[in-house]
Amino acid sequence: MTPRPTTPPAECAGFVAVSVHLTGFDEFTLRSTGMVRLYHDTTIEQVGRAAVGRFLGDLAAAGDDPGRITDPVSLDIARAITHLWYLGVWPRLARATHTALGRETANTAFVVSPQAWSEGLVWRALGGHAPGARPPGFGTWAAPPPAPHPRPAPSGARP
Amino acid sequence: MSAVPPPRERRHDVIVVGAGMAGSLIARHLGDQGWRVLVLEAGTDTLSTWEGHQEAVDTFHAALYKVPNAPYRPNAAAPSPGVADLEGLPTGGYRAHGYLLQRGPLPYSSDYLRANGGTGLHWMGLTPRMHPDDFAVRTTYGYGRDWPLGYDDLEPHYRAAEQQLGVAADAEEQREAVGLPFPEGYTYPMEAVPRSHLDHLLAGRLDGTALREEPGAPAVPLRVVTTPHARNSTPDPRYDDGHGYRPAGAVGPNAYGERCVGNASCVPICPAQAKYTPLKTQAVWGPHVTLVARAVVSRVLVTGDGRVTGVEYQRYEDPAGPVHTTHTAEADVVVLAAHAVENAKLLLHSRLAGSSDQVGRNLMDHPTLLTWALLDRPTGPFRGPGSTSGLEGFRTGPARSVRAPFRVEIANWGWAWPAGSPAGDVAELLGIPADTTAPRPGPLFGPALRQALTGRLERQFSLQFAVEQDAESRNRVTLDPRHRDRLGIPRPVLTYDLSDHVKRGLAAARNVSRELFRLLGAEDHTAYAPGPLAPGHFRFDGADLVFQGAGHGAGTHVMGDSPGTSVVDPWQRCWDHPNLYAVGCGSMPSVGTSNPSLTMAALTLRSCEQIHRDLMDLHRPVTLRPHPVDKAPAASRRPGGRP
């Protein structure tokens, strides 16, 4: 008997789907960074499950277009998650957001891990690599840069 | 490593203070000649193992601010100045935090690193020679100070330094385009580091054209010229009469320390160890060299006749701990190689070498003007070494009589230095201002964000104009006994300003940049204004300018041909103390427009010859006597400390 193929549930599927809308990178690219779980956990640690839940609701109500979110706290969370993906850095929130969330941690920016810096999407947007990580090889800087491929993100994924 | 207990020997032939580039080179050469060398390093020794190197790379990756000192652990026992210690004020002026106390009209804006390997851990690794004209600026152009040496005196030592550092460059191009004399047939150890795509684009539009820095000024021919690097490229088989060159000294697996692989992080750390650091010289130290890290020299000890006998130093185990112990060590010769500012600090605190009243004075740097623009096509930013080429036509000539000269570095890392790119661009497009109380503009997300970022970043490039600063006695390091570090050693107090000669050089650089951007068809985005990130802001002739530090501190124990007007003689030996040397950029009477490390290394290697002669002279009576001298007297002078 052939065992019936099963699809294991993807890790943090909702968080990845939201991140696709925020970053403009597809699910495969986001998962290939290896940062999904860390960014998911960082976000929850920083703003709390309740605020993340409200943000998800606001994003759904905005038709999955984060730019149309009107609630300032949810919009700031969208900024922070995107910043995290692009630079590996959790940013400082607006002071009003920090207060509204009643956060007990200091409102400081930090690199979430050494790998997070190397995995910043901003370097991929340029077709390049983070300084000090994934060097492309001797003399590669003499060639024209690779053309960036702004592949539009698939829009089907739902959080 | 062996399990042999540390030698009980207390007396050394030479004590070297500081295990940076100059100190490591001196220790190597004197050790190879059989002298017993004790190297005392104030900072920690964490990077000379593979694990320590990897940890520093990780620390750099995890650092929020990627400043030059970012990979290296802060050390309260031997603090280092950092570029983030300075803060510009909203309407001009600055405030200094951190280790250096600053009392000048303008800030001394450079950092250095107190750790084993020194600032040579995070240098960019560019190694142009000084121009022959640079050694006589007072006589020829009427500013600054002359050297007691010329290019010809230093030339063989430049070659020796290029061997020690493993320099990659094209001698023929340097001869033709810069005007540097080389012996017939000279090749550098390695072939030039390949030019960046940006260099090629700029060369295509600039080579063969000419530029006037103002109407009526003579036209300066333009040519993009490859810069010499102490960075592994392809070894030149013709080097050393066909013996070739083999890089050495990296820690870790065999593949490390080979050619540059384009990490694009020379400053603050080269993960592949393709860039020369003093640790590579330390890796080939012979058995006569002993390094003691976490040993902060607090005083040079001297007898009544002016001869120094050794040093007093403070040892600590834990950089964060409060405990330190005081020790002394004795030697026939003491060499201070602790950085221009630290050497001056030690001489001042020890009240030595002061008869000319020049200790601490003549502090210089290369005040650097950054300009930035967008080209009409992708430049390939953030790739390769920080700079691979420059424009050399503004380094000398009659204009030097009027304004300071400059060297133009073509910067390969986009607007990273002038504008904090790309992190700044991401924050701006997301509407995340630095001030958390400021209103947050509407962000871009998704494909729009991604495309906007690519559009902003892919055409970035910047130019760095390193301007020569003339030696002025008013720019100086002093001490204030009210301000001491944790070990009780007075902290350096800096008084710094730019002369009008330098300011005219910076203003001329701004004009040259405008013309270059015009010739390139580039959109000039350069703008200068006071603000928190512009401590080097000033106004000159009605215009705003902002300068940066280059990390090229020099001049503080100036070399000359007379004890009345200089601190060290042409061998970097203190006029007042026949067995005390102060080596490094602090000896330089003028800095030209070249990144100074190679010249420092050449001077250092030249001094090694004299130190060796001095030691031979001191030991000569022993060999001339019919019977060997009893060792007992020397052994009885036991210093208290344990190195």
Task: Write out pLDDT tens, residues B225-243.
Answer: 999 999 999 999 999 999 9
- The position carrying tokens 């142009």 is B128
For residue B633, what pLDDT is reported?
41
Nearest-by-Cβ selection for B382 from A79, A131, A153: A131
Interface contact B271-A93, CB threshold 8 A: no
Q: Please provide residue B314's backbone torsions phi and psi, each rounded to the nearest 5 degrees.
A: -110, 125
**pLDDT > 90? residue B635:** no
Q: What percent of chain B has pLDDT over 70?
A: 95
User: Which chain A residue has its CA at the smallest distance from B412's CA?
Assistant: A141
Q: Which of B143-152, B205-214, B634-643 has the lowest mean pLDDT?
A: B634-643
Which residue, among B436, B437, B456, B460, would best test binding to A if mutated, counting the most A CBs under 10 Å from its CB? B436
The confidence band for B255, taking pLDDT boundaries of 50, 70 and 90, is: low
For residue B2, what pLDDT is reported?
38
Q: What percent of chain B has pLDDT over 90?
A: 92
Question: Which residue, B131, B123, B537, B558, is CA-closest to B370?
Answer: B537
Q: What is the 3-state secondary structure (H, E, C) of B607-631?
A: HHHHHHHHHHHHHHHHHHCCCCCCC
**pLDDT > 70? residue A148:** no
Q: Spell out a b/e string for B217-232, using b for 16 or more CB atoms within 10 Å of the CB, else e.
A: eeebebbbbbbbbbbb
Dump pLDDT digits (tens) for B316-366. Answer: 999 988 899 999 999 999 999 999 999 999 999 999 999 999 999 999 999
Cis-peptide, bond into residue B367, ω within 30° of zero: no
- Partner A, chain B 174-203, Cβ-Cβ below 8 Å: 194-197, 200
For residue A26, what pLDDT is reported?
97
Nearest-by-Cβ selection for B447 from A110, A138, A152: A152
Q: What percent of chain A has pLDDT over 70?
A: 89
Angle at B560 between CA B555 and CA B561, to 5 degrees: 180
- Written as six digits, the tokens of B74 are 């802060």
Cα of B196 to nearest chain A Cα, Å: 4
Interface contact B261-A92, CB threshold 8 A: no
- So where are chain A's domains? 9-129
* Alpha-carbon span B447 to B151, nearest angstrom: 57
Nearest-by-Cβ selection for A24 from B261, B443, B447: B447
- The position carrying tokens 């000269």 is B405
Interface contact A141-B388, CB threshold 8 A: yes
Nearest 10 degrees: CA dihedral of B497, B501, B502, B505? 160
Strands B537-540 and B389-391: unpaired
Cβ neighbours for B623, distance < 8 A, ≥ 6 positions apart: none
**Mean of per-residue pLDDT scores for chain A:** 91
User: Which chain B residue has its CA at the smallest distance from A135's CA?
Assistant: B263
Q: Which of B214-228, B250-264, B466-480, B594-608 has the lowest mean pLDDT?
A: B250-264
Cα of A68 to nearest chain B Cα, Å: 10
Strands B580-582 and B325-336: parallel
pTM for the full predicted model: 0.93
The confidence band for B256, taking pLDDT boundaries of 50, 70 and 90, is: confident
Question: Which residue, B425, B508, B513, B595, is CA-closest to B202?
Answer: B513
The confidence band for B449, taking pLDDT boundaries of 50, 70 and 90, is: very high
- Partner A, chain B 375-414, Cβ-Cβ below 8 Å: 378-385, 388, 412-413
Dump pLDDT digits (tens) for A80-118. Answer: 999 999 999 999 999 999 999 999 999 999 999 999 999
Cα of B69 to nearest chain A Cα, Å: 15
Question: Which residue, B587, B18, B561, B577, is CA-closest to B353?
Answer: B577
- Partner A, chain B 458-477, Cβ-Cβ below 8 Å: 458
Interface contact A122-B453, CB threshold 8 A: yes
- Across the range B417-428, mean pLDDT stands at 97
Cα of A93 to nearest chain B Cα, Å: 7
* Chain B environment of A114 (Cβ under 8 Å): 57-59, 61-62
Amino acid in position B421:
S
The answer to whether B259 faces chain A, any CB pair under 8 Å, is yes
